[in-house]
Structures are given as structure tokens and as C-alpha cells.
Structure 1
Amino acid sequence: MSTSSDLEILVPPAQQLDIAGERLEIRPLVLGELPAVLKAVRPFAAQLAGGPDWLALFAEHGEALLQTLTLTARKPREWVDQLAVDDALALAAAVFEVNADFFVRRVAPRIGDLAQQLSTRLAGPTPSPG
């Protein structure tokens, strides 16, 4: 028999968050959002496992992270750009917490797998010049 906690694992609940004078409902991603979010998160996906260092992510991948927040918060980029740093960090944490299964269990390992496959191919024998 399924319990509410089993359902929350499959479909994480939305999270209410008060940011910049607004109450946001951070919800899990839906299928139509995946292409743009995957493209935005790709540069830093491998760094999402464990407890991400949000300040380091902003420093190293600021544009990609801002684009990801814009898409996942479903707010205009101008709104995201105007957030105070502590609000941006809270928003990032909420977005990735609500979508943790997607980012940590699906995206980050896949990025690692692809890197390993590429590395194996590059290390393999190279054809001799004809």
C-alpha cells in the first residue's frame, strides 16, 4: 500500500518560499521545461551532488545558474537578476531541493557517464594516417 511519503518520493511536493516580497511556489519540473533546463544546468550538473557550494557555483557558472533559476522559478530574468544574494541562494536551494531527484540522481550521474565514455573513446587506439 502506498503512503503519502511514497508519493512524495515520486512527485515531490511544491515548496512555498517568500522572496523579494513575493510568495513563490517552487514546483517540480515538467516535461516541456526539461530541454531548456538541461541546457542551462549542463555546465555545473556534476557539482550538484552532495551539498553544493552555491557561492562557488555562482562564481564559476553564474550565467548558467542564473538561467537555471529563471527557468525553474518561472520568473523573468530581470526579476532574478535583482534578487539580493541571500534571496538568490535561498531560491537556488529550494529549486534544487524540490527537483533533487531529477538533478542529483539523473542529470549529474549522466554527465559523469558521458564524460567517462568520451574519455574512453579519446584514450582508445587512433587510426593510422592513410
Structure 2
Amino acid sequence: MDFQTFPPVPQVVTVAGVAIELTPIRLGELPRLLAIVQPLAEDLTGDPDWMALLGRHGEAVLDLLVITTRRERAWINDLPLDDAVQLAAAVFEVNADFFVAHVVPAIQGAAQRLGPTLRTLGTSPSPD
């Protein structure tokens, strides 16, 4: 029997007195999540600086938490900062293989492939 076919066991994190069950990203969440993660992908490392991420990409991080926790935005918005950082770290831990192994390399690869094209477009003479 292949145990990898079983659904993953949720990681339970207690935040603001509420037990949140975190599971890996689901297929239906992927399109929205990828659109949100793209601008902050360069800052997602093995050990992200959550305060810096919130400072540079606050709305995207909050949207990311809404999708990955499957909670309402108002609930996320009302979290104390330390709870929000704890929750973000737990979300990243549950989905680390996805973020680090798939999202970041895919976006970096796309940027490298598009770089020469974008540079060429930026130096093309403009029609008069």
C-alpha cells in the first residue's frame, strides 16, 4: 500500500485562540495563489524574513494567508502581528516544497528567459 496516496495530515496551529488546520495547497487554489506569489517569489527563501515580506508585499502576504488558511480576510486582518508571523511561518512550512521547489525556480527561469526579450524591446527604436 502506498501511503503517499493518503491525504496529508493537517498541521494544527493555534493562532489568536483558534486552532487552524493547515494542509498543502489544493489544485483549485493554485491559479490565484500563483498570481499572488509571483511578485514576492524572490523574497521567498528557505527562511524568509516575514517582517520584511510584510513591509514590501503586505497585501500579497495577507492574500496568501487567506488562500492557504481558508479563512476570511477580516479574520486575517485582525490578527496581532506576532500571530500573523507565526501563521505565515506555519503556512510556509506546510507548503515549503511547493514554494521552494516549484514556484521560485519557475519564476526565476521565466525571468531569465524573458530578460533578453525585454532588453531588446527596451532598446528598440521608437517609430516617429
Length-normalised TM-score, structure 2:
0.86
* Closer/same/farther in 2, CA of residues 129 and 76 from structure 1, 3 Å limit: closer
Give the superposition deviation at 1:12. 5.4
* Closer/same/farther in 2, CA of residues 128 and 80 from structure 1, 3 Å limit: closer
In the alignment, is the contact (CA less than 8 A) between 1:15 and 1:25 conserved in 2? yes
In the alignment, is the contact (CA less than 8 A) between 1:17 and 1:25 conserved in 2? yes
Q: Residue 91 in 1 paired to residue 87 in 2?
A: yes
* Closer/same/farther in 2, CA of residues 129 and 65 from structure 1, 3 Å limit: closer
The number of residues matched between the two structures is 126
Q: Which runs of 5+ in 1 are unaligned?
A: none
Paired residue for 2:113?
A: 117
* Closer/same/farther in 2, CA of residues 77 and 119 from structure 1, 3 Å limit: same
Paired residue for 2:73?
A: 77
In structure 2, C-alpha distance between the alignment counterparts of 1:56 and 1:49, rounded to whole Å: 12
Q: Quick one: which of 14, 17, 20 aligns to 1:24?
A: 20
54-63 or 12-21, which deviates more: 12-21
RMSD: 2.4
In the alignment, is the contact (CA less than 8 A) between 1:47 and 1:108 conserved in 2? no
Amino acid at match of 2:85: L
Q: Quick one: which of 65, 90, 99 aligns to 1:103?
A: 99
Q: Which runs of 5+ in 2 are unaligned?
A: none
